Amino acid sequence: MENIAFIGLGNMGGPMAVNLLNKGFKVSAFDLSADALARVAAAGGRAASSAADAAEGASVVISMLPAGKHVAGLYQSDDGLFAKLPKGALVIDCSTIDAGTARKVAEEAAARGLSMLDAPVSGGTAGAAAGTLTFIVGGAADDLERARPMLEAMGKNIFHAGGPGAGQTAKICNNMLLGILMAGTAEALALGVKNGLDPKVLSEIISKSSGRNWATELYNPWPGVMENAPASRNYTGGFMSELMLKDLGLAEETALQSHSANPLGALARNLYEEHVHLGNGKLDFSSIVKHFHRLDG
């Protein structure tokens, strides 16, 4: 069984590393947060003192980081992991970053005799904890087959989108649509509530009608409608609004580079930019409902 170094133990990475441990994989982990490291150590992982320490003796590195600059820094800097990993090692980056950076990092990995997959995930923090994530993978098919046992320990669905960077492109398209759907759902619920409807009843109606979508059925943005949704715990512990803003920005950049139209994606980005500017960046992205309705009165 592969020895795994796991770098980045946030709301998504931490539960993913724990699921690997629960499936019998040996995991050495690193994060800047001592609390995050302690949670993985409590599950049986080794708390490393640095990313290089975590990668010592590893045949596989999995990373879950905030942005492309962090991924490039981890692997490509002068003291990055590419200079330390043995030939034949497999790198799986589960971060959501721009496809251009993913391709450049993969090219350098190949030049050093390493294999690399971009494998961003969908499914949120609940999916990370339950081990039911969807992995959207870019890279060589043979490398995906090597990675499959590890991905299956953390997720339920695995898609091969294409070559290097394809996983990131597919994820960006998905998250652009997710941002649009969440903003639309929040707007519709706010309209109903302002006109006397019960948000729980309206959500049930929508979920059984033509407006049904993931937000109304599994991640409702209105407090109290769905017990396990971030909205019912003050929008904590989910997918932060500032990260949704980042992903919508990536979609807009991709559209500009490919001369593609994205008017709805751009509108969603503007809504989230204002939302984050007003101090909601650390709240779950479903808190966009605050843009349409004051929840405190």
Whether 171 is a known active-site residue: answer yes
Cα 180 to Cα 190, 213, 215: the distances in Å are 15, 11, 10
**Extended beta strands in 119-222, E state:** 121-122, 133-138, 155-162
State whether residue 213 is helix, strand or coil.
coil
C-alpha span between 261 and 245 (Å, rounded):
18
Burial of 171 (C-beta count, 10 Å sphere; 0-12/13-18/19+): buried
Q: Which of 23, 69, 156, 171 is catalytic?
A: 171
Among residues 198, 229, 197, 232, the alpha carbon closest in space to that of 214 is found at: 229
List 121's β-bridge partners, or say none.
Answer: 135
The H or E element spanning position 93 is strand 90-93
C-alpha span between 6 and 90 (Å, rounded):
12
- Whole-angstrom Cα Rg for the chain: 20
Which residues carry out catalysis?
A: 171
